Amino acid sequence: MLERFRRSAGVPAAAGDELAAELLPVFAALDEIEREVARLRDRSEASAAVRLHDAEEESERILAEAHRSAAQQRHAELRSALRRADAEAEAIEAQAKADAQATRRLGNDRLPGLVADVLERVLEAGA
């Protein structure tokens, strides 16, 4: 049927009502193809919208999980830093106690000699 349009001038062999009747099935077939294309496009658009929505939800879920994970990591780091600070404070306090005890021992060790020196000087001054 379409062979008739392949002539060099592009004019169909028949004209008028006969041509319209002859082309009616061709245009009906084209209409069905256009409807099928529209259905496919609609389904594709709907599928794309669902996929986009799912991707947005997944993205939000991943982002929320990342925020939770970051907060947990910050808290863990803070707890670790506090433990290190506590350990350092305990070490400083232990060193200070040891230094104070050493100073007391030194003072106690030197006290009898100092008392003897003071007593000797008082006695010399009074004599």
The model carries a pTM of 0.48
Residue 127 lies in a domain: no
In which band, very low, low, confident or very high, does the pLDDT at 12 lie, cut at 50, 70 and 90?
low
Count of helix runs (H) and strand runs (E) in the chain: 1, 0
Cα gap 96→36, rounded to integer Å: 88
Residue 28 forms part of a structural domain: yes
pLDDT at 8: 46
* Per-residue confidence (pLDDT) for residue 28, from 0 to 100: 81
Please state which of the ranges 9-18, 34-43, 101-110 shows the lowest mean pLDDT: 9-18
List of E strands, the chain: none
Quote the number of domains for the chain: 1
Compute how many other C-beta atoms are within 10 angstroms of the C-beta atom of residue 14.
Answer: 13
In a domain, 124, yes or no: no
pLDDT tens digits along 53-98? 999 999 999 999 999 999 999 999 999 999 999 999 999 999 999 9
Residue 53: the pLDDT is 97
- Range of the structural domain that residue 31 is part of: 2-119
Shortest CA distance to 24 belongs to which of 4, 7, 1?
Answer: 1
Residue 72 lies in a domain: yes
39 belongs to a structural domain: yes
Looking at residue 92, its pLDDT comes to 97
Q: Is residue 45 part of a domain?
A: yes
The verdict on residue 126 lying in a domain is: no
Alpha helices in 1-16 (DSSP H): none
Mean model confidence pLDDT for the chain: 87
